[in-house]
Structure 1
Amino acid sequence: MIAFLGMGLLGSNFVRALRQKDVPVQVWNRTASKATALETYGAKAFSEVAAAVAGAQRIHLTLKDDSTVDEVLDKAAPGLQAGAIIIDHTTTSVAGAIERTQKWQERGFTYLHAPVFMGPQNALESTGSILVSGDQQVISEYEPILATMTGKVLNFGESTGKATGMKLLGNLFLITFTAGLADTLSFAKGLDISLDEINALFGTWNPAAMLPARLKRMTSGHYSDPSWELNMARKDTGIFLEEARKTNTPLAVIPAIATEMDRWIAKGHGNDDWTVIAKDSI
């Protein structure tokens, strides 16, 4: 028997995918209607979390944050059967994942933090990636099961919390990337550049292909042979800001980048490659 706690978009689709494979699933959600809605697919909903985990060998969590995970698990504890494993897919802090691993081990249970790179549709289709790290014996035992829930299991080694950190790193990149695109769209709107024209540009010119080389350049530690001088990149950034000012276009990310460029220029790096702004990060 499997218990699933947290029936948001991700958790509910995980449950639907399990039910498509005829796996028995007991479900719980703070808002009970989200759990009972899954009875349509054959899941068994419970109003009390301790009852939902009773008899389950595996308990999966897709909750909000550290405090929610801790609260829900403490309430579930009276219903946990001996030897059960808790597999937590919630995006949490590294410290929280490490502390819970130790806490639940001391209480006689296995806790494995296994965050995911996947959206609700991936959960339904069993595609995407699950991240794990820590006790390799535990991971070896449960990796085949996790692999059925997703397209790929990424094992980051024996360090408890490393998978958590990798998840946070990935989400930080996605948020930064999306915020940059939002600035790009806002800037284009101010210049009367249409969405079709933007799509045509990126359909022909693929900046994603530059990512590996850009990352290598940024982390090389060598910036004195520039392909784009910081002074010139800052000049262009100034044009972005001026054009945005003229069209009353709000930009969220670019002003902060300009400030960072100015800091490095003031330190004497204006003639270096503009990727020098990453120097303190490596």
Structure 2
Amino acid sequence: MSERPKPRVTVIGLGRMGIPIASAFLDAGYPTTVWNRTAAKADALIAQGASRAATATEAVAASQLVIVPLLDHHTVREALASAAPALRGRTLVNLANSTPDHARELAAWAEEHGADYLDGAMMALPETVATPEGFFLYSGSQPAFTAYRRELEVMAPAHYFGTDPGAAEVHDLALLGAGYAALTGFLHAAALLDSMGTTPEVFAPLAARWLHGMAEFLPELAREAGSATYRDGVSTVDLNRAAVDSLIQLSRASGIATDVHEPLKALLDSRSSDGHGQDSFSSVFELLRSSPGSHEG
């Protein structure tokens, strides 16, 4: 069986992510139409072989697959408002920063206009588009994801989280939350060490090595939290409670804000006072989940 022909792709929005996304499709041999409110941003892509659309409506009408890496929900609705009649029979892939409710709202709007809808979250930087280092999350129309998975993976490895259009945004925000916690912890540590004469540049390689080891520990934490089996953990609540308490005391003595770690200390204190001091650190999950203790062993 011969491989199906490559469909025409439209990219609407040529910002930091839109340009490398459109370039990736051109490099992969896809006929690509581009549109941006500031037309000059398309010039380099036109020189690379892209087709320039004069309007958003023309851009949508040009392709069956319409990729929209704009800034946010409002910008997407504004850009596509005049193009709504052209959406019928097309697949709209929204890659804008959004909330789960905004994704569901846009999915309903696209469906009203006869389009399949995929919501996407870009876990990538411009330089990691079309490389294994980046990855994109998707939810929404399963037929659309199945039909266009090859095209979606031109941009980055694709992960699908079900038919709820908001699911990709929930997973996106969860990943961002994990990252923000790690980055904020690093900046707090850098501030603490800076007061002792160790610069952030000197500290960064040590922190990266430590965080790499912690990342390797995540599957074990996931196993414990998923099974609610906390009795044999190698890193207990009370052990970490003492460490966090020492960190807070050192921060206070050094004139460094303690806000970063006070919430964790409160969770560990609560867990210990409930008689779970010898349980694994991962048992803090029971205080954070929406139904605390409902499946704890």
Shift of 1:60: 0.8
Shift of 1:48: 4.1
Q: What does residue 267 of structure 2 align with?
A: 260
| Equivalent residues of 2:91, 2:144 under 8 A apart | no
For 1:77 and 1:265, locate their aligned partners in 2 and report how far apart those are by CA, in whole Å.
56
Change (3 A) 1:40 1:243: farther
Q: What does residue 7 of structure 1 align with?
A: 14
Aligned amino acid, residue 156 of structure 1: F
- Give yes or no for the alignment of 1:221 onto 2:228: yes
1:165 to 150, 155, 170: 170
Q: 1:238-257 to 2 correspondence within 5 Å?
A: 238-250=245-257, 253-257=260-264
Deviates more, 1:67-76 or 1:20-29: 20-29
Per the alignment, in what secondary structure is the counterpart of residue 10 of structure 2?
Answer: strand
For 1:175 and 1:201, locate their aligned partners in 2 and report how far apart those are by CA, in whole Å.
15
Change (3 A) 1:258 1:212: same
Gaps of 5+ in 1: none
For 1:163 and 1:53, locate their aligned partners in 2 and report how far apart those are by CA, in whole Å.
23
1:184 to 176, 183, 189: 189
For 1:86 and 1:261, locate their aligned partners in 2 and report how far apart those are by CA, in whole Å.
45
Aligned amino acid, residue 164 of structure 1: E
1:168-225 C-alpha deviation (Å, 9 max, x unpaired): 2222222222222222322333344454465257548822221111222234434455
For 2:120 and 2:50, locate their aligned partners in 1 and report how far apart those are by CA, in whole Å.
22
- Give yes or no for the alignment of 1:142 onto 2:148: yes
Aligned amino acid, residue 48 of structure 2: Y
- Give yes or no for the alignment of 1:234 onto 2:251: no
For 1:32 and 1:126, locate their aligned partners in 2 and report how far apart those are by CA, in whole Å.
31
Per the alignment, in what secondary structure is the counterpart of residue 206 of structure 1?
Answer: helix
Change (3 A) 1:33 1:124: farther
Shift of 1:107: 1.4
- Give yes or no for the alignment of 1:104 onto 2:118: no
Shift of 1:157: 3.5
1:2-28 C-alpha deviation (Å, 9 max, x unpaired): 321222211111112223345343333
In the superposition, the TM-score normalised over structure 1's length comes to: 0.82
2:100 to 85, 91, 94: 94
* Root mean square deviation of aligned Cα: 3.0
Matched-pair identity in %: 24
Shift of 1:44: 4.4
| Equivalent residues of 1:16, 1:124 under 8 A apart | no
For 2:195 and 2:227, locate their aligned partners in 1 and report how far apart those are by CA, in whole Å.
37
Change (3 A) 1:269 1:82: closer
Aligned length: 280
Change (3 A) 1:183 1:164: same
Aligned amino acid, residue 190 of structure 2: L
Shift of 1:96: 2.0
| Equivalent residues of 2:67, 2:92 under 8 A apart | yes
For 2:203 and 2:123, locate their aligned partners in 1 and report how far apart those are by CA, in whole Å.
30
For 1:231 and 1:219, locate their aligned partners in 2 and report how far apart those are by CA, in whole Å.
21
Gaps of 5+ in 2: 1-7, 290-297
| Equivalent residues of 1:261, 1:277 under 8 A apart | yes
| Equivalent residues of 2:9, 2:31 under 8 A apart | yes
